[in-house]
């Protein structure tokens, strides 16, 4: 274990977590980061092989993780996901609702068709509702917990061709606030982390194109895109007791993208 991994080890010791969208990119980094801090982790994804690989990598360094295959846009599958994690760990007191993303589906508003709109809303907003509802009901009956949702810098700013995605992620931010108000009496905190442009296997080829890299240098004050590992600190903080008086907020991890 390197110094970065061990510096704050144990902040989530004893926590029983579900991380959705855990097979790659930001989700894989979050699952591994939460495990480094002592949580047991259910790595959930529609990609069975990817989820298994991330869970195995956690086990290889002494953590405890399972993989669960689920489509989080399907309530029945979300309930089965929660049951699998609860059976394995004895309950769930931390949900990291990370699954979602735009998948590069950029469409000008005048060309935006209903199926794509609903697909984007289901993937990014309805999935949070389903996962939050199922997990919060169990947390409320067991003394509380924490929910951290992945939002986006596009919940704050607009970009061409991304109206459907911005609407979904803006809805996530407002849902987080509403959940925080309703769930506070039950000892459940709800917050969000909003990434800026982040380099993942799925977008690496696009982000490394010279013209795209040049654009990021001008639109991101820190002059570069993020690594998925740079999302971990904010999520660990929001999940931990260090954030015991923090609920209903969104932390932007975007290199300053939203301040310009």
pLDDT tens, residue order, the chain (260 aa): 343 344 445 999 999 999 999 999 999 999 999 999 999 999 999 999 999 999 999 999 999 999 999 999 999 999 999 999 999 999 999 999 999 988 878 899 999 999 999 999 999 999 999 999 999 999 999 999 999 999 999 999 988 999 999 999 999 999 999 999 999 999 999 999 999 999 988 778 778 888 888 888 899 999 999 999 999 999 999 999 999 999 999 999 999 999 98
pLDDT of residue 49: 98
Cα diameter, the chain = 53
pLDDT of res. 104: 75
Per the CB < 8 A criterion, the answer to whether 224 and 180 are in contact is no
Residue 198 DSSP class:
B
- Residue 19: partners with Cβ closer than 8 Å, 6 or more residues away: 27, 30, 31, 34, 41, 42, 43, 44, 96, 98
Catalytic residue numbers read 165
Check: CB of residue 22 under 8 Å from CB of residue 35: no
CA distances from 225 to 88, 96, 178, 210, 218 (A): 37, 22, 31, 13, 11
The domain defined by 3-253 folds into: Rossmann fold (3.40.50)
Say what the pLDDT of residue 213 is. 87
Name the token pair of 191.
């917050």
What's the pTM value of the predicted model, to 2 decimals? Answer: 0.94
CB 194 within 8 A of CB 155: yes
Residue 123 is given by DSSP the state I
Which pLDDT score is estimated for 9? 58
Report the run of H or E that residue 178 belongs to, with start and end. helix 163-183
pLDDT at 204: 82
State the distance between the two ends of the chain, measured CA to CA, in whole angstroms.
Answer: 38
What is the CB neighbour count within 10 angstroms for residue 6?
Answer: 10
């Amino acid at each position: 274990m390197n110094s970065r991994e061990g510096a704050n080890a144990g902040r989530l010791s004893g926590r029983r977590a579900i991380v959705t969208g855990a097979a790659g990119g930001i989700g894989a980094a979050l699952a591994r980061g939460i495990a480094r801090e002592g949580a047991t982790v259910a790595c959930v994804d529609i990609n069975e092989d990817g989820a298994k690989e991330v869970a195995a990598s956690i086990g290889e360094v002494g953590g405890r993780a399972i993989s669960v295959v689920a489509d989080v846009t399907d309530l029945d599958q979300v309930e089965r996901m929660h049951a699998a994690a609860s059976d394995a760990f004895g309950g769930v007191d931390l949900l990291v609702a990370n699954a979602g993303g735009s998948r590069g589906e950029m469409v000008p508003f005048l060309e935006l068709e209903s199926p794509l709109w609903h697909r984007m809303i289901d993937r990014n907003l309805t999935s949070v509702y389903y996962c939050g509802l199922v997990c919060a009901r169990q947390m409320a009956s067991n003394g509380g917990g924490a929910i951290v949702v992945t939002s986006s810098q596009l919940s704050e700013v607009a970009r061409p061709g991304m109206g459907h995605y911005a609407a979904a992620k803006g809805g996530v931010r407002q849902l987080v606030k509403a959940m925080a108000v309703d769930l506070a009496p039950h000892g459940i905190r709800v917050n969000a982390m909003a990434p800026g442009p982040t380099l993942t296997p799925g977008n690496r080829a696009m982000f490394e194109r010279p013209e795209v890299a040049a654009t990021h240098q001008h639109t991101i004050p820190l002059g570069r895109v993020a690594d998925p590992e740079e999302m971990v600190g904010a999520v660990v903080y929001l999940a931990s007791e260090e954030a015991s008086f923090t609920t209903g907020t969104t932390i932007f991890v975007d290199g300053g993208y939203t301040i310009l």
